[in-house]
Amino acid sequence: MSLASVIRAEQKLLLPTYDRQKVLFTRGRGVYLSDSRGKRYLDFLSGIGVNALGHAHPAIQKVLKQQAGKLIHTSNLFYHEYQAELAKRLTRISGLDRAFFCNSGTEAWEGALKLARAYARVNNNNGHKAKWRLLALENSFHGRTFGSLATTGQEKYRHPFTPLVPGVNFVAFNDLADLKRQFDGSVCAVCLETIQGEGGIKPVSREFLELARELTDKSGALLMLDEIQCGLGRTGKYYAYQHYGITPDIVTVAKPLAAGLPLGALLTTDRVASGMHPGMHGTTFGGGPLACAVAIEFLRVLDSLLGHVRKLGQYFVEELQNLQSQHPPIQEVRGMGLMLAIELDSADTAKSVVNELLQQGILINRTHDTVLRFLPPYIAEKKHVDELIRALGRSLGRKNNHREHSGTQRKHREAHAAKHGIFPTQNNEGSTPIAKSNTHN
């Protein structure tokens, strides 16, 4: 099938939810994808953080083939060999006690929201008053189903579907005073991404997370962390909260968990799990033998990759900072491990860079209009980072030249020089943490 015929068929047959790039991928191996014309692409997006082991990883292929020949689905009415084993591994690396498996990120977050409400209902320490409010963060993203949407602090996603689930209030990102102001005994959970992903790769500050932990501990509310994008090795630790030395009551994971198969999970403590009883929550497909067997293998491989993710992430961020010192459109470098981003000064520039890189066979994506997001597979190497940096440099160089000609460059350069000095430092006072300050603990 050709790209043109697929586009025509999809236009006629699919719900118009996606504005896809015009590429038809047919194969993947390692950090590269190939399209229907045989063109190769360096994959620095990993299917939005899913293909953490790249494509066609031999260990994953082996387990996939073996398990597909044995048993694919049982439903959750019966036992199979792998849920308990996977839960054992996930709880061991998280400091939590129990797991619930599902099929996607949003489903994991829905389960977490339901658990928070269910737990508060039987453990209400707010006198006779209700304890059901959820505090979420502005600029957050938790998924597309109603509960997840209700806790997603971005109007563009929420607006077409209101009214949403009631009882949610939004706190300004990293604003300690606002959190204190909005928190009281009626809150059953504080909900946040340890690093906002879709919101532009913004790590929550240590002070904010510590305050959220302190307030929830005191009042018997839960701290719920969404690590669907930043968890499971992406930052060089199993969970991003481990950089902060804080353990949540519930954490959700998904994207890389089954190396490309749909699988999500929520992890929680024995205490919080007591809020659930048989029949209160469930799923037909979630935690099936195929996905769980693959996830166990993913975690086994991950153990040997964490150090590499940290090292490569450090190299990558330094290269991005070098780039920033040469290219005024780069406003900030952010992120941790292999979850990195650069913020540009215009949406047009960001869009054009993504398109130029695609033409050159490099996949990245743009989030929040002006942010270039990098989520390479954990198996990427220095030479792949170098390839991306060279392409980014070329593309931004062309933009500089263009601005030079159009006369806006001098102003930008002067502002850039004032901000950075001769040896630029890239982080403004009061901005969100960058990878340099990764060493949170």
106 vs 438, beta carbon nearer ligand PLP: 106
Among 45, 93, 228, 253, binds ligand PLP (CB under 6 A): 228
Furthest C-alpha separation in the chain:
69
Among 100, 119, 141, 173, binds ligand PLP (CB under 6 A): 141
Considering only CA atoms, which of 231, 227, 223, 210 is closest in space to residue 337?
231
Residue 191 C-beta-side C-alpha neighbours within 13 Å: 36
Among 143, 329, 335, 337, binds ligand PLP (CB under 6 A): 143
Among 153, 197, 203, 433, binds ligand PLP (CB under 6 A): 197
The residues that bridge with 190 in the sheet, in sequence order, are 135, 223
By CB atoms closer than 10 A (0-12, 13-18, 19+), residue 365 is middle
226 makes contact with ligand PLP (CB under 6 A): yes
229 vs 269, beta carbon nearer ligand PLP: 229
Q: In the range 43-62, which residues lie near ligand PLP by CB under 6 A?
A: 48
316 makes contact with ligand PLP (CB under 6 A): no
105 makes contact with ligand PLP (CB under 6 A): yes
CB of 204 to ligand PLP, least distance (A): 12
101 makes contact with ligand PLP (CB under 6 A): no
190 vs 254, beta carbon nearer ligand PLP: 254
248 makes contact with ligand PLP (CB under 6 A): no
198 makes contact with ligand PLP (CB under 6 A): yes
**Phi, psi dihedrals of residue 438, rounded to the nearest 5°:** -60, -35
112 makes contact with ligand PLP (CB under 6 A): no
Query: Side chain identity at 399, as an amino acid letter?
Result: K
> Whole-angstrom Cα distance, residue 300 to residue 82?
14
374 makes contact with ligand PLP (CB under 6 A): no
139 vs 426, beta carbon nearer ligand PLP: 139
* Distance, CA of 221 to chain centre: 24
Q: What is the dihedral sign for C-alpha 325, 328, 330, 332? A: positive
Residue 59 tokens, joined: 């260990």
CB of 144 to ligand PLP, least distance (A): 6
CB of 197 to ligand PLP, least distance (A): 4
Question: In a 3-state reduction of DSSP, which class is residue 258?
Answer: strand
170 vs 395, beta carbon nearer ligand PLP: 170
User: Nearest residue to ligand PLP, using CB?
Assistant: 105
151 makes contact with ligand PLP (CB under 6 A): no
> Whole-angstrom Cα distance, residue 172 to residue 165?
20
* Distance, CA of 313 to chain centre: 16
Among 112, 115, 135, 254, binds ligand PLP (CB under 6 A): 254
Question: Are residues 118 and 280 in contact, defined by beta-carbon separation less than 8 angstroms?
Answer: yes
Where b means 16+ CB within 10 Å and e means fewer, 261-293 reads bbbbbbbbbeebbebbeeeeeebebbbbbbbbb
Q: Site residues (CB under 6 A) for ligand PLP?
A: 48, 104-106, 109, 141-143, 193, 197-198, 226, 228-229, 254
